Structure 1
Amino acid sequence: MELLWEITGWAGAVAMLCAYMTVSMGWIKPGTTFQAANLFGSCAFIINGTLHGAWPSVATNVAWFLISAVALLRMRGRQETVAVEAEPIVVPAYVTTDTGTQMVIPRPSAAANCA
């Protein structure tokens, strides 16, 4: 069982270092993938540190976990807000419907196109 906890700790180290390297090298943006890797890594370090009695490491990784969790929740909230927003496009006056009124065609915002 002890081997499992060691593997867990090393997997957390690899996840966090890979996330940091890929963002630092510009290979990925600091988004949900980065935060999820940090969340996983901090959980793994919390487990490993607790079993080894490394309390400063555990405290640091609890803070790391909370930062990543809050960041993921905030990103999720922004994605839901962006998906709802839409700007109407007013068609020029010479384009009319059968009733002679102008048509309004909704256009998604630029931020929604990036998601």
Structure 2
Amino acid sequence: MPAALDRKSVYPLDLIVEIVGWMGASLILLAYCLLSIGKMQATSPAYQWLNIGGAVGFIVNSGWNGAMPSVALNIIWFGIGITALWKLKRNGVSSI
């Protein structure tokens, strides 16, 4: 059983990292849901910020747990979001 799920070995930092990971997952799912139901546009700063926040949560959690492919994927995901925000700002779209 992974250390984070073993009740005997859950330390405060382990719990914080798990919470950060679940928050990251929630942000990405919220962004996808809002996009899918038409409540948000992929070109909106809010959508990009949700994805950036989610990527950070996954980077922290995946890094802590040694899941390097997930870390790499989410660093790229983060970079895509930052690049999109930078392009939106260049085009005169406020960042929230």
TM-score bucket of the superposed structures, by smaller chain: 0.7 to 0.9
Q: Tell me if 1:68 matches 2:71.
A: no
**1:14-67 CA-partner distances (Å, limit 9, x unpaired):** 000000110111011221000000000001100110000000100100110000
**Alpha-carbon separation, structure 2, partners of 1:28 and 1:65:** 19
Query: Which runs of at least 4 in structure 1 moved beyond 4 Å after TM superposition?
Result: none
Structure 1 segments unaligned to the other structure (5+ residues): 81-115
Higher helix proportion, which one?
A: 2
TM-score (norm 1): 0.68
SS at match of 1:27: coil
Instruction: Give me the CA root mean square deviation.
Output: 0.9
TM-score (norm 2): 0.81
Cα offset, 1:13, TM superposition: 0.1
Structure 2 segments unaligned to the other structure (5+ residues): 1-12
Number of residue pairs aligned between Structure 1 and Structure 2: 80
Q: Which has the larger radius of gyration?
A: 1
